[in-house]
Structures are given as structure tokens and as C-alpha cells.
Amino acid sequence: MITVSLYGLYRLKSNETMYEFEEAKDIKQLLLLVQAASGIPVKELKQAVIFVNDTPIDKLGLFRAKLNGGDRISIISPASGG
């Protein structure tokens, strides 16, 4: 099971703050599952700060980062304001 937690604006846009998925081979596939479950477009999710087990995806191959059962994914909306 892969656990996905949404933070920031994504938490407000979604009906749930946490999702669980049986499997996804990589972040790209996972974002499609999150889109289907939450209604947040993949294009928007790709702008997020994403962590896999507390490691940012830019250190893991970005959207090709491989996933395994038990992984914890955090998707955080980018900061905004002025």
C-alpha cells in the first residue's frame, strides 16, 4: 500500500487529506491515481513539492522515481502570496 498525504491548498481542494493506493510503479503513474481520486489535475500536481519517504523527488529521478509498497508520499502545494 502506498500512502499519499496532501498539504496546503491541495488539502482544501480535495475531499480527503490522505489516500491509499495498492500500487504505482512511479510518481508519474501515482499522480494519475491522485488526480482520479481527488480531482486535482496532474498538471497542477506536477508543480507541487513531492517527497517519497521524506526525500524530495528531485533526488530520486523526479517523476520517474520508483515506488514500492509501504512508501509514504507527501504532496505539498507551492507557496504563494506576496
- How does pLDDT run across 8-31, given as a tens digit for each residue? 999 989 989 999 999 899 999 999
Say if residue 74's pLDDT is above 60: yes
Return the amino acid letter for 68: N
List, in sequence order, the alpha helices (H) in the chain.
Answer: 9-13, 27-38, 42-45
pTM exceeds 0.85 for this model: yes
C-alpha cell of residue 29? 503513474
CB-count exposure of residue 11 (10 Å: 0-12, 13-18, 19+): middle
Q: What is the distance of C-alpha 76 from the center of its chain?
A: 8
pLDDT on residue 80: 62
Class for the domain spanning 2-76: alpha beta
- How does pLDDT run across 42-55, given as a tens digit for each residue? 999 999 999 999 99
How confident is the prediction for the chain on average, in pLDDT? 93
